[in-house]
Amino acid sequence: MAELWELSAAALRAAIGRGEVSCHEVAQAHLDRCAALDPRVRAFVTLTPGTALAQADHWDAARARGEALPPLAGIPIALKDNFCTRGIRTTCSSKILGDWQPPYDATATRLVREAGCVLLGKTNLDEFAMGSSTENSGLFTTRNPWDLDRVPGGSSGGSAAAVAACMSPLATGSDTGGSIRQPAALCGVVGMKPTYGRVSRYGLVAFASSLDQIGPFARSVEDAALLLQALAVPDPLDSTSLPVEAPDYRAALTGDVRGLRIGVPREYFAEGVHETVRTAVRRALDLFCDLGATVEETSTPHAEYGLACYYIIAPAEASSNLARYDGVRYGIRADNARDVIGMFEETRDLGFGDEVKHRIMLGTYALSAGYYDAYYDKALRVRTLVKQDFERCWERYDVLVAPTSPEVAFRIGEKAGDPLAMKLSDICTIPVNMAGNCAISLPCGFQDGLPIGLQIIGKSLDEATVLRAAHAYEQAANWQPRVPSLSP
């Protein structure tokens, strides 16, 4: 039998169900893997071995009593550290929160616990999810398990790296402009951004509230479907949660895509997308044709404005959301300030990193008197045009296929002095957030030993079709989850 940490969540679920292995053994194997590898990868901000083993023992005891187990009982999971976890510190990888321990769980935290998942710990991210490389973490930089000199992507780089290194079979992330899909692509794992409103955002520390969405990381499409099933539950605590019951996502994984209509937006293959990435995605499209799908080139003409539009709307919302960090209610407080205003200023200057300050200033400027109409209002109008582009595509196609990232993982520090080049990392993912659609990234090849990501985009609330297409490709390409040669 393979090592327990090598097994997929589905395989672990089956082994636990047959009584071949205990939940405690599964948890311990993954904790040992974390202890051996994380000092170099640095995926985790906080490890919770006591919590993990206690939860695992709970499910072992339930099984011994003959009780029916929930669908993911005993399966380890890592949570991005912008998910509130009651009694466990939640930092958003920012100094301003210090060792803050929330008094409540995020809905997503509660749902994965109720599904039986065992919490290994909280993962690193770009501070408040603002970045594309995890280099903007206020704590430390996470490294890509395929090459420790390279970034894992961001902002959910810690979650992607933890799954890629087999430290956890499942993880959660948040995707505001590509923060699940882009690190999934760079780390060679599966990452999905569901439809906006499909998964509750209650207890997710807000970055840009009209764009943020929670989703799963896994090493296979089947595992991603299992985790999404647990997360996709309507929630009265989130006013943007859609009151729509999720279908059976695992049942959608038929492997059959005959008659599936695939559109290929030419804008996603423009200058700036590496030729090796284009070739890998084109090869995937050829395989879809072999499987009986139809493939046609199409256009989403306003996609090229998505990046500029995003960097008005997201910072504007961040400026509002981050106003609450003032040193009064929670988090750190600057000492010896001259007065209350000084305490606000010094606390925020001390606690926020450069990228967060930069985005707050951009957003505040865009919302200020005299500039609101010129910037923010215009960006909202462009966002509508981006959404309308997708709506026209859905009249003709079931899914769209494109690269996830224009390039493979770049070296740590390589883009530190070029903010525009860093922001262009998300050029293929941002339009989906603008429109509120769902999308998945899965591996489709390698360039110089580094993974390439394939992005499949679907219409709102049609995650089942996206998962079906992704699973069919994964199976036909015989894409078995690959493990980086990262020896303990």
Query: Which amino acid type is present at position 290?
Result: D
Beta bridge partners of 80: 123
φ, ψ of residue 275 to 5 degrees: the values are -60, -35
Active site residue 22: no
Mean pLDDT of the chain: 96
Rounded CA-CA distance 320/372 in Å is 14
Task: Exactly one of 80, 415, 423, 459 is catalytic; name it.
Answer: 80
Task: Write out the chain's pLDDT in tens, 488 residues.
Answer: 589 999 999 999 999 999 999 999 999 999 999 999 999 999 999 999 999 999 999 999 999 999 999 999 999 999 999 999 999 999 999 999 999 999 999 999 999 999 999 999 999 999 999 999 999 999 999 999 999 999 999 999 999 999 999 999 999 999 999 999 999 999 999 999 999 999 999 999 999 999 999 999 999 999 999 999 999 999 999 999 999 999 999 999 999 999 999 999 999 998 889 999 999 999 999 999 999 999 999 999 999 999 999 999 999 999 999 999 999 988 999 888 889 999 999 999 999 999 999 999 999 999 988 888 889 999 999 999 999 999 999 999 999 999 999 999 999 999 988 888 898 899 999 999 999 999 999 999 999 999 999 999 999 999 999 999 999 999 999 887 778 988 55
Rounded CA-CA distance 428/418 in Å is 19
In the block, tokens 């200033």 appear at 361
In which order are the strands placed within the sheet that holds 450-458? 44-47, 118-123, 76-80, 170-174, 214-218, 190-193, 438-447, 450-458, 399-403, 261-265, 294-298
φ, ψ of residue 74 to 5 degrees: the values are 85, 0
Task: Exactly one of 94, 132, 137, 179 is catalytic; name it.
Answer: 179
In the block, tokens 């423009």 appear at 270
Task: Exactly one of 22, 93, 94, 155 is catalytic; name it.
Answer: 155
Rounded CA-CA distance 123/189 in Å is 16
CA dihedral over 165, 167, 170, 173, signed as positive or negative: negative
Name the token pair of 3. Answer: 């090592």
Active site residue 80: yes
CA atoms within 13 A on the CB side of 249: 26
Name the token pair of 74. Answer: 């005993």
Active site residue 441: no
Q: How far is CA 182 from CA 67, 153, 193, in A?
A: 40, 6, 11
Reported pTM? 0.97
4-258 to CATH, choices 3.90.1300.10, 1.10.3720.10, 3.40.50.300, 3.30.565.10: 3.90.1300.10
Q: How far is CA 381 from CA 213, 311, 313, 398, in A?
A: 21, 14, 11, 26
Rounded CA-CA distance 345/464 in Å is 47
Which DSSP string corresponds to 195-239?
PTTTS--TTBPPS-TTT--EEEEESSHHHHHHHHHHH----TT-T
